[in-house]
Amino acid sequence: MPFDARPRVHGNTRRPYAALEEDGRGMRRSSRQERGSDGWRRHALLPGLVASQVPSVALAQGELLTRLRPELLGTSALSLIFAGLTVFAATTSLVYVRERARWQRRETALARELEAARGQQDRLSALLAADPQVVVSWNGRNAEPVFEGDSGFLGAPGATLALAYGAWAPPVEAKKLELATDALKERGEAFGFTLRSKTGPFIDVEGRPVAGQAVIRFREVTGERAQVLALRGELERVSGDHKALAGLLAGLPQPAWTRNPEGRLSWCNAAYARAVEAADGSEAVKNGLELLDRSEREGAARARREGQPFSARAPAVVAGQRRTLDILELPTPTGFAGIATDMSELEAVRADLQRQMDAHVRTLDRLKTAVAVFDASQRLVYHNSGFETLWSLDPSFLDGHPSDGEILDRLRSERRLPELGDYRSWKAGVQAAYTSTRANEDWWYLPDGRTIHVVASPNPQGGVTYLFDDVTERFTLESRFNALSRTQRETLDSLREGVAVFGSDGRLKLSNPAFAQSWKIEADLASAAPHIDEVVRLCRPLFPQDEIWSELHSVVTGVRDAREDYGCRMERRDGTVLDCAAAPLPDGATLISFADVTASVNVERALTEKNDALEKVSRLREDFVHHVSYELRSPLTNIIGFAQLLGTEAIGALNEKQRDYTSHIVRSSGALLAIINDILDLATIDNGALTLELEEVDVAETIAQAAAGLHDRLTGSKLDLKVEIAAQTGLLRADGKRLRQVLFNLISNAIGFSSPGQTITVSAARDGGDIRITVADQGRGIPAEVKEKVFDRFESHSLGSSHRGVGLGLSIVRSIVELHGGRVELDSAPGRGTRVTAVFPSEGVSMSDAAE
């Protein structure tokens, strides 16, 4: 126990109190004697003090008498008074001298008594200071306490704090001391305790009434008695601990046992007995039932012989079941003690956890996100392949389990960290995650342009798990997406067409200002996300046709296997014409656009009316041309016939001038007939009535025939004709008559723009699947502004030559060549002649295409 609370009275402890009591009585007796002698001295000194004052009084009276008139007093009376005063003064002086001597003797005695009292006080103080103790006394119930001694041994500085029991005594003992102190002061009840202070020393506390005073003494227990009390407390503590441990071991669910120095079982708890299937621990000890197998028992025996602890994980049969146990057996002063912990479930959980961890590791290795795990000492304990790839770190460096700081320093030296002015502060901020209680996120912008999203998550067991995600591509895509979204938004806002996007739920998700303006509804309608029914209700006043609105409603909200486009034209009440188009979007939404085509519709109507009018005029013109051509052709044929008849002089001879007139009539009539035939051919081609008679045509022969028909003109114009036919030209599938017509017109045109002495070249060659027939002259050439019009009808340009024509030759050439599926190429420049090439497909054109 920490203290002995039983009251005790010891002989050696009573003597100081008796001495203190006797000294107190002596001091009080001396005080009374001193007070008595002082009173006596005061009475004895009174006559002396009076006598010492008599001479002065007498002198005063003598002066008074001398001042009186002499006649008032007689001489004898004055003598008598003076004699009496003299006797009184002498008597008083004698008494004063004697009392003064007595007072000096008494003063000497009192000085000796005072010295003796001081010596006694010094002895008492030395006696009180011999041991660590404090004495507290009260002269009355309500008097202030008087303290003697030093309370330093109590652990409370200053003697006055000895009564502050709570400052140095345990709470229970402090309360007991307060009650005992009150009982001593009120009723004079003595008490005695031995207790242990908070600082460790044992304290004897004794209280009793002494000579009418309440006195309490606090004294530190020292020497053997203190050692005995300490040992007794230690014994009680150890005994309590032993009982607690014994109870704990007995109640443990783990088997526990002890062995004697020889290694035989000496005690076991109930769990051990159940494990070996014994009725109780006594039976297990008596029969020496062992829990472990032979191999583990031999290992434990070797450890006992060597005096070493034995620790192992071993299988064992516990209550008939095979279990895995953690065995721990330690040497003790009295033998050996052991305990077995069932680790079967833990082993199963650990194996399952290991399988899960392996699966997680495999999963983490497949992630692109870099993962690094650091333990509580900031050492790398795990990283996936993504971490190694992201930071391009040497595997051997990572296998050395570097610290967090070492990795950061290495990355900084390789310029793979953000470039900051205060790297140390930044690094300290990163490593603050080890003392944080929640995950921290950060963004690292690296010098190479990459952006890394960093998440530092504290681990429950200490350390940090870092996740590094390269979000550069995502940021780039987000930036592009945002830019595209802004572009899309601005594009939609700038469109003249009204655009509305409805989601799969039928609500308006997006619209542009043109949509609101065209239907005269609020511009911020999309922000309220109205349903299409509400939008149709707002738009119906301008276009009340329910069939089209129902179709649009079905396109937006209908569930169909195949989503298709939809289009219609809306002619509103206000005269506006809108082309409506609905197109499904990939995300399930539907885009509806409204294009204002009012102006184009009006123009279309005007053009249609004008086209109808032009078609009527064209038909009238064609009818007129056909009519005129046919009407002119018959009399012209007669004119030619009669002129030729006259030229033959079959009906009579003609003079020279008549022959010239007849020849001129024939040539002019022939030219006019050719013009009429060209007009008829163009009209036939325009009407699609010209039919090609396709056959295999010899190109060289056809060129020769066309040249023969123009022999007279070539000779008359003094021009040379040069024909160049490539050997591989071969046959051309075409209409021979129309081909000769094309060549005739081209050569005629070259003759008209050539000067005497120049050469016209006609060539033909095969070019892949085409046959190119070219007529080239050495004439003046055609200016650029004229080249665009030479194939137009009735376009005739003399270009400074004597050639005159109606401008139909080249138009007929292009029309006939295009009917054959070919094309006409013109190459000419002023001063270097003209080359006109007709390109024909060698296989010709089908009959259906020719008819078209």
C-alpha dist (Å) from residue 459 to 12, 404, 453, 462, 590? 68, 15, 19, 5, 49
Q: What is the pLDDT of residue 36?
A: 42
Q: Name the DSSP class of 814.
A: H
Lowest mean pLDDT segment, chosen from 168-172, 629-633, 702-706? 629-633
What burial class does residue 221 get, using C-beta atoms within 10 Å of its C-beta: 0-12 exposed, 13-18 middle, 19+ buried? buried
What is the arithmetic mean of pLDDT over 345-373? Answer: 81
Using 50, 70 and 90 to split pLDDT, how confident is the model at 759? very high
What is the arithmetic mean of pLDDT over 42-65? Answer: 41
Lowest mean pLDDT segment, chosen from 66-70, 350-354, 631-635, 762-766? 66-70
Q: What is the pLDDT of residue 28?
A: 43
Beta-bridge partner residues of 501: 510, 591
SS3 504: coil
Lowest mean pLDDT segment, chosen from 369-373, 453-457, 625-629? 625-629
pLDDT at 72 over 70: no
Integer Cα distance of 519 and 536 in angstroms: 10
Integer Cα distance of 89 and 782 in angstroms: 185
Which tops the pLDDT comparison, 765 or 669? 765
Q: Which residue has the tokens 């003209």?
A: 834
Q: Are 203 and 194 in contact (CB under 8 A)?
A: yes
SS3 247: helix
Q: Are 574 and 542 in contact (CB under 8 A)?
A: yes
Candidate ranges 55-69, 343-357, 577-591, 790-804; pick with highest mean pLDDT: 577-591
pLDDT at 19 over 60: no
3-state secondary structure 271-323: HHHHHCCCCCHHHHHHHCCCCCCHHHHHHHHHHHHCCCCEEEEEEEEECCEEE
> pLDDT per residue over 316-336, tens digit each?
888 878 888 888 888 888 888
Residue 829 token pair = 């420049």
Q: What is the DSSP string of 548-616?
A: HHHHHHHHHH---SS---EEEEEE-TTS-EEEEEEEE-TTS-EEEEEEE-HHHHHHHHHHHHHHHHHHH
SS3 479: helix
Distance of CA 651 to the CA centre of its chain: 117
Q: Are 720 and 737 in contact (CB under 8 A)?
A: no
What is the arithmetic mean of pLDDT over 58-72? Answer: 45
> pLDDT per residue over 435-446, tens digit each?
888 888 999 999
Integer Cα distance of 408 and 427 in angstroms: 8
Rg over CA atoms, the chain: 72
pLDDT at 402 over 90: yes
Q: With left for phi above 0 and alpha for psi between -120 and 50, is residue 649 left, alpha or beta?
A: left
pLDDT at 561 over 90: no
Integer Cα distance of 144 and 121 in angstroms: 21
> pLDDT per residue over 613-656, tens digit each?
888 877 776 677 667 666 777 787 888 888 877 877 777 788 88
Q: CA torsion sign, 417 to 418 to 419 to 424?
A: negative
pLDDT at 109 over 50: yes
For residue 822, the surrounding DSSP H or E stretch is: none
Q: Are 213 and 137 in contact (CB under 8 A)?
A: yes
What is the arithmetic mean of pLDDT over 263-268? Answer: 88
C-alpha dist (Å) from residue 326 to 189, 427, 843? 63, 44, 100
Residue 673 token pair = 């007939």
Integer Cα distance of 709 and 401 in angstroms: 104
Q: Which residue has the tokens 């102006």?
A: 599
Q: What is the pLDDT of residue 764?
A: 93
Using 50, 70 and 90 to split pLDDT, how confident is the model at 39? very low
Integer Cα distance of 35 and 27 in angstroms: 12
C-alpha dist (Å) from residue 607 to 518, 600, 615? 26, 10, 12
Neighbours of 25 (CB within 10 A): 10
Contacts of 514 (CB under 8 A, 6+ apart): 495, 496, 497, 498, 499
What is the arithmetic mean of pLDDT over 597-622? Answer: 83
What burial class does residue 401 get, using C-beta atoms within 10 Å of its C-beta: 0-12 exposed, 13-18 middle, 19+ buried? middle
Task: Look up residue 186 and give its amino acid.
Answer: E
Using 50, 70 and 90 to split pLDDT, how confident is the model at 8? very low
Integer Cα distance of 702 and 693 in angstroms: 15
Residue 201 token pair = 């020393």
Task: Look up residue 323 and give its amino acid.
Answer: R
**Phi first, then psi: what are they for 329, rounded to 5°?**
-130, 125
Using 50, 70 and 90 to split pLDDT, how confident is the model at 421? confident
Q: Are 155 and 198 in contact (CB under 8 A)?
A: yes
pLDDT at 657 over 90: no
Q: What is the pLDDT of residue 772?
A: 93
Q: What is the pLDDT of residue 56?
A: 44
Q: What is the pLDDT of residue 379?
A: 92
**Phi first, then psi: what are they for 259, rounded to 5°?**
-130, 150
Using 50, 70 and 90 to split pLDDT, how confident is the model at 128? low
Buried b (16+ CB within 10 A) or exposed e, 46-83: eebeebeebeeebeeeeeeeeeeeeeeeeeeeeeeeee
pLDDT at 210 over 80: yes
For residue 793, the surrounding DSSP H or E stretch is: none
Q: What is the DSSP string of 227-243?
A: HHHHHHHHHHHHHHHHH
Q: Where are the alpha helices (DSSP H) in 435-568?
A: 472-494, 513-519, 532-539, 546-557
Q: What is the pLDDT of residue 375?
A: 92
> pLDDT per residue over 775-795, tens digit each?
999 888 888 777 777 777 666
Share of the chain above pLDDT 70, in %: 83
Share of the chain above pLDDT 90, in %: 9
| Average predicted confidence (pLDDT) for the chain | 79
Integer Cα distance of 464 and 342 in angstroms: 32
What is the arithmetic mean of pLDDT over 78-104? Answer: 84
Q: What is the pLDDT of residue 275?
A: 86
pLDDT at 229 over 80: no
What is the arithmetic mean of pLDDT over 829-841? Answer: 89
Whether this model's pTM surpasses 0.75: no
What is the arithmetic mean of pLDDT over 695-703? Answer: 91
Neighbours of 190 (CB within 10 A): 16
Using 50, 70 and 90 to split pLDDT, how confident is the model at 16? very low
Integer Cα distance of 267 and 281 in angstroms: 7
pLDDT at 130 over 50: yes
